[in-house]
Amino acid sequence: MIEWVYRSVKKSRLIEQIIVATDDQRVFDEVKRFGGEVVMTPLDIQTGSDRIAYVARQLPLADIIVNVQGDEPFVSGALIDDAIMPLLVDSKLQVSTLVKKITNQEELYNASTVKVVFDNFSNAIYFSRSPIPYSRDSVSITSEITAGKFFKHIGLYVYRKDFLLYYTKLPQSSLEKAEKLEQLRILENGYKIRVVETDFESISVDTPEDLYRARTYALSFS
């Protein structure tokens, strides 16, 4: 899994260095086996952003840090580049991420699928594990999905390094604790997260069922 993600990231035109951050010796050894660069991080690190920040502090020349989850086997180099571009275009922007239209009710009502709403300028308004927005006058949820009114978050983040180091020092926010979503700490402190819409189909592998889905999806290309 980790080698698949690593080699996908290598296809990015904009990424200059790839480092796997882990606190698991098995992952560390596997990355070394296939010739990747890896850093062992402390066991007491609480979040993925904190883990990335730990490594970022060791990269004095880096300006932009991309956090690619190791459980996203189908991430592509082009997708990563699309996520990076907003920070290259807008020097004031600190964070960007990806969203995709939700296509079925299972995704909409699955708490593991993070939903997002955003404004007319593609800045995130809120992330939630619950279906958002709530369509009070909707006659059919299926028609709402077909109309493309719901979006899911794809957990790939692009940060300016200085902001990443600042943000991870902020205390956990109340909404972050309630939803168990660390990106809400950014919004609660008044900062923007730019969202980039994609057609990329994310299959995060968190359970044995997810792994089965991922393998089935991969076989469709073989």
The 10s digit of each residue's pLDDT in 121-155 is 999 999 999 999 988 777 778 888 887 899 999 98
User: Could you give the 3-state DSSP secondary structure of residue 196?
Assistant: strand
Give the pLDDT score at 189: 97
Domain range list for the chain = 2-219
CA dihedral 206, 207, 210, 211 (to 10 degrees): 100
Percent of the residues in the chain that have a pLDDT greater than 70, as a whole number: 99
The 10s digit of each residue's pLDDT in 52-80 is 999 999 999 999 999 998 888 888 899 99
Indicate the pLDDT class of residue 42, thresholds 50, 70 and 90.
very high
C-alpha of 50 from chain center: 14
Give the pLDDT score at 222: 57
Indicate the pLDDT class of residue 221, thresholds 50, 70 and 90.
low
The topology (CATH level 3) of 2-219 is Spore Coat Polysaccharide Biosynthesis Protein SpsA; Chain A (3.90.550)
pTM of the model: 0.89
CA 26 – CA 22 distance, rounded (Å): 9
Contacts of 133 (CB under 8 A, 6+ apart): 117, 149, 150
Mean pLDDT of the chain: 91
